[in-house]
Amino acid sequence: MIPVSLLVCVMAAWCVVYLADTLLRSSVTHRISYESWLASRGLMLSPFHLRWQTTMFNRLFAYCARINPQALYLWFNSGLMFGIAAMLGSVVLLIKTLQQTLAQMTTDNPRIGGQQTLQVVVPGVNLPTSQLGYFFIALLLSGVIHELGHAVAALREQVRVNGFGMFVFVVYPGAFVDLFTTHLNLISPTQQLRIFCAGVWHNFVLCVAALAVLFLLPLFLFPMYSTGGGAVVIDVIQGSAADGPRGLSVGDIVTGLEDCPVRGVEDWSSCLSHLSHTVQTGYCVPVASLQPSWAHGRAFKRLDGTMDCCSNNSLTDLCFSYVKPQGRSSREREYACMPVRKMVTGTPVCHTDADCAAHSHTPSVCVTPSLENQTRFIRVTHPPNTHMLFVGYPPHLQHAVSLTNFVPRFGFLHLDLPVFLETFCKYVVSLSGALAVVNSVPCFALDGQWMLNALLEATLVSVVTDRQKRELIGFFLLLAGSALLAANVALGLWMVTAR
């Protein structure tokens, strides 16, 4: 749910800005000077929309458009081919996403229909407020690179750029370029396509570049951070099962979960998933240490059918089950309530008594924690500290702890630097890729509208000679694309906010 305080602050800020703008425009004394001040700075203000435009970057765009003309020709021709392919691909992707959304809407099980390919992002609902900075900066960067592509392509095709600008709509930032329409209408449809496709092409390139940085980040940070030596704890949710004096702390390096080695975050997740779907691990305990524990309470059945023998709700004891040494032929099980840390610290894991015979020369049995269904007992190795002992549902441990693959080589290095770079790159990949897809859709008011119109003019002139018929075909295609995009957005918002 969207935080009420955030919503109130946004609405209050826009109300103050709009009220001040209205008062100054209606003032006889200040109206002329206020409007002159706005015009001199390229500012335009309307309800929930602030826009700024400037010509200060025009020389930079012109310089970029003159760099190696032959290379730029190949570059923007590649963008043209990518734009046409992306326009077709975006339609297929939206149809697939719509089918997935409808499949999820018709069932109570969210797993039916699979993971959605595209998803509507609503700050405060499915986007954590702690990551709004990443979201808005990545969105603005993606928008600037998109418009840079349009500007350079336009100047290369001899179309004048009137200016470049940025805007804020409610809370969403963006960018735009103002092209001289007369010049744009004079060039050929193929030249127009190069300009219109340049935006989504540059978004795709930015997406690939961010993805490359993400995969090569261990190499870039190698002099300062090492990887493969474990997963470093960067945050522990206060009050969770991983918190406490014998829990995990920021800076701890997790190297194992039971007998599953952890070399990084991916291993941490896969180990927890493995432990969730396998039988509980047992521990080799000498028979001599079990004998005094046989009389500790009587086992009783829980509601789910599992057995418990620690009725005092002790925080240090746990019920263990094992095959009774005197009755192994009948596989009769015995239950004992034992001090858990004392019994499992430093002991090898096992699944049968035969495993213990291979690890120990003294008579030992394999004891298994007797827990409720889906609950697991997990030893978390984080040297040089003693094991953290976790009893609960493994996904709860995964959600309680945030980790990173990067271990600082020096004490003065901050743990959050690699996390910041990783998270930012992931947002750039997602948002720049999403802008490339959405802007490719043949939809009114998006790049796809102009891409489709230019494509029809370039390909249908000899087939459909009547210009009005070509425009009619384009109109119905745009209408269908707009309906498809609107349906995805509407149903996506409903899925995010209503379920």
Query: pLDDT at position 376, please?
Result: 93
Query: pLDDT at position 84, please?
Result: 97
Both 186 and 318 in one domain: the answer is: no
Query: pLDDT at position 433, please?
Result: 96
Both 464 and 402 in one domain: the answer is: no
- Of 352, 382, 409, which residue constitutes the final position of a domain? 409
Both 367 and 482 in one domain: the answer is: no
Whether 416 is covered by a domain: the verdict is no
Both 14 and 120 in one domain: the answer is: no
Rounded to whole angstroms, the Cα distance separating 45 from 366 reads 74
Q: Phi and psi at residue 91, in whole multiples of 5°? A: -65, -45
* CA neighbor of 491 nearest in space, from 216, 113, 213, 211: 113
Both 197 and 270 in one domain: the answer is: no
Query: pLDDT at position 1, please?
Result: 53
Q: Count up the domains in the chain and report the number.
A: 3
Whether 54 is covered by a domain: the verdict is no
Whether 51 is covered by a domain: the verdict is no
Residues in the chain: 499
Rounded to whole angstroms, the Cα distance separating 314 from 110 reads 38
Both 264 and 392 in one domain: the answer is: yes
Residue 455 Cα distances to 199, 451, 481, angstroms: 16, 6, 15
Query: pLDDT at position 291, please?
Result: 55
Query: pLDDT at position 115, please?
Result: 60
Whether 50 is covered by a domain: the verdict is no
Both 294 and 255 in one domain: the answer is: yes
Both 327 and 235 in one domain: the answer is: yes
Both 374 and 283 in one domain: the answer is: yes
Whether 414 is covered by a domain: the verdict is no
Whether 52 is covered by a domain: the verdict is no
Whether 49 is covered by a domain: the verdict is no
Catalytic-residue membership of 147: yes
Both 197 and 72 in one domain: the answer is: yes
- Of 409, 444, 479, which residue constitutes the final position of a domain? 409
Of 147, 157, 334, 457, the active-site residue reads 147
Enumerate residue ranges in the chain where pLDDT < 70. 1-3, 108-117, 291-298, 311-313, 325-331, 498-499
- Region of 284 (left: φ > 0; alpha: ψ -120 to 50; beta: rest) is beta
What range does the domain containing 15 cover? 4-39
Whether 465 is covered by a domain: the verdict is yes
Contact, 489 vs 120, CB < 8 A?
Answer: yes
Both 470 and 347 in one domain: the answer is: no
Query: pLDDT at position 285, please?
Result: 86
Both 279 and 205 in one domain: the answer is: no
